[in-house]
């Protein structure tokens, strides 16, 4: 993996020409099975998890490509929700390297092509690809999706995608295709999203307008046109926003049913089986309650705060580490009212914001001056656990890299 990271001169190099050329040479340009791509700012991983679980429950063989990983690279390439072994991935890397010739690819571009190679070799029935950055120029967009999903539009990766929701919407909309369905899960979509999808000629299905859900006494109900699914079970992923993500996944399944029929029972079973570490993941360390969340932009942190306020109204201790290119001040301002004690950590990443700089932002944003600097996230978590009252949970958040460093400590 370190070799892949070093081979291309820059970590993020948006564009489709290089990866498209290699895909052609490797005979990976045309997917052999139905393909669903999932883009958006927040909620991509959750929608992918729901789709995967639903199709597995329906008896299909499902290939899933996601990013980033938490513990092992293999997590990025999964079949039926299980990470594939080293041998198929190495074989895929070797095939991609032969096809590269003199064309340089980024870490993510090689990974996307490798996933397609693995899925073809294992004859999956359906492929689900999570879009990495943006959409229009992301490597996954070399393939024409049968169904595209755009979850939400929020500010993130502004240096590459633009600093307004309107600009970002145009980039996200790029995964749509003329005459094919695109499902959107943003309840307040930017005007640019509708304009872009109309210009592309996609068959746009929007939450709240074309499909939605309602609460019921013993569950919830989904409706889309003449289709209504009552008494659906609570989604396995925690957080009120997950019903939006589950609804988006169901709508995508309905749009693909001519090629991939799925029963109501399979949908219900999939909702209950979906699994996604690091998204409002509750556990314990030494018996003390801990919540892990990869939220790394203000919109994601706002959702996190809403759920924490319901479950832990007395507040939390927080372990926070973040990348420097994120909206650190706004993230802190959103969550500060429910944080009783701050433990700031350093990430071993070239884009990380040093804990000492986080403390300056924290003080400027909130006036808090007593945050501790505790080294790596796992050390900060240990200190937070030793200092927090038994009733006060510890929240670890701010980045995938933050969560990766502490996951193995969970009981």
pLDDT in tens, 349-389: 999 999 999 999 999 999 999 999 999 999 999 999 999 99
151 Cβ partners below 8 Å, 6+ apart?
38, 39, 40, 41, 42, 43, 44, 46, 47, 184, 185, 186, 245, 248
The DSSP code for 185 is: -
The predicted structure's pLDDT at residue 194: 93
119 Cβ partners below 8 Å, 6+ apart?
33, 63, 65, 79, 127
**Mean pLDDT for the chain overall:** 93
Q: Which two tokens stand for residue 232?
A: 């659906």
Residue 317 pairs in a beta bridge with: 341, 394
Q: What does the pLDDT average to over 185-201?
A: 95
Q: What is the CATH number of domain 2-273?
A: 3.40.1190.10
Where does residue 10 rank: exposed (0-12), middle (13-18), buried (19+ CB within 10 A)?
A: exposed
The predicted structure's pLDDT at residue 386: 96
Cis peptide before 68 (omega within 30 of 0): yes
Taking every pair of Cα atoms in the chain, the longest distance, rounded to a whole number of angstroms, is 61
Domains 2-273 and 281-409 share a fold: no
How is the chain split into domains, by residue range?
Answer: 2-273, 281-409
Question: Could you give the angle at the alpha carbon of 148 between the alpha carbons of 144 and 151, nearest 5°?
Answer: 145
The topology (CATH level 3) of 281-409 is 3.90.190
Separation CA 58–CA 52 (nearest Å): 10
Report whether pLDDT(4) > 60.
no
Residue 18 pairs in a beta bridge with: none
Separation CA 306–CA 313 (nearest Å): 10
Q: What does the pLDDT average to over 42-49?
A: 96
Share of the chain above pLDDT 70, in %: 94
Separation CA 77–CA 66 (nearest Å): 7
């Amino acid at each position: 993996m370190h070799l892949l990271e070093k081979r291309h001169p820059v970590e993020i190099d948006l564009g489709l020409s290089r990866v498209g050329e290699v895909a052609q040479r490797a005979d990976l340009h045309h997917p052999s099975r139905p393909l669903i791509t999932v883009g958006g700012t927040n909620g991509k991983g959750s929608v992918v998890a729901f789709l995967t679980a639903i199709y597995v429950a329906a008896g299909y063989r499902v290939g899933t490509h996601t990013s980033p990983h938490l513990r092992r690279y293999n997590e990025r390439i999964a079949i039926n929700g299980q990470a594939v072994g080293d041998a198929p991935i190495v074989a895929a890397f070797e095939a991609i390297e032969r096809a590269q010739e003199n064309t340089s690819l980024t870490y993510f571009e090689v990974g996307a092509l490798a996933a397609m190679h693995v899925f073809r070799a294992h004859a999956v029935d359906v492929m689900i690809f999570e879009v990495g950055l943006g959409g229009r120029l992301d490597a996954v967009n070399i393939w024409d999706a049968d169904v595209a999903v755009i979850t939400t539009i929020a500010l993130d990766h502004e240096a590459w995608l633009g600093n307004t929701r309107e600009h970002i919407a145009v980039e996200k909309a790029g995964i749509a295709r003329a005459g094919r369905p695109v499902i959107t899960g943003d309840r307040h979509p930017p005007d640019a999203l509708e304009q872009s999808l109309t210009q592309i000629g996609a068959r746009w299905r929007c939450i709240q307008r074309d499909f939605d859900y309602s609460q019921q006494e013993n569950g919830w109900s989904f409706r889309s046109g003449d289709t209504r699914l009552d008494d659906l079970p609570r989604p396995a992923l925690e957080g009120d926003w997950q019903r939006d993500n589950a609804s988006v996944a169901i709508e995508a399944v309905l749009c693909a049913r001519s090629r991939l029929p799925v029963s109501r029972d399979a949908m219900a079973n999939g909702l209950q089986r979906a699994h996604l570490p690091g998204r409002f993941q509750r556990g314990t360390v030494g018996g003390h309650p801990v919540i892990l969340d990869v939220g790394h932009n203000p919109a994601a942190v706002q959702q996190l705060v809403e759920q924490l306020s319901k479950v832990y109204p007395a507040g939390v201790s927080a372990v926070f580490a973040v990348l420097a290119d994120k909206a650190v001040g706004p993230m802190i301002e959103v969550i500060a009212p429910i944080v009783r004690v701050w433990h700031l950590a350093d990430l071993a990443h070239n884009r990380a914001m040093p804990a000492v700089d986080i403390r300056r932002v924290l003080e400027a944003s909130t006036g808090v001056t007593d945050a501790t600097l505790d080294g790596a996230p796992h050390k900060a978590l240990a200190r937070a656990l030793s200092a927090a009252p038994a009733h006060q949970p510890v929240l670890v958040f701010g980045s995938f890299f933050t969560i990766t460093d502490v996951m193995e400590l969970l009981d």
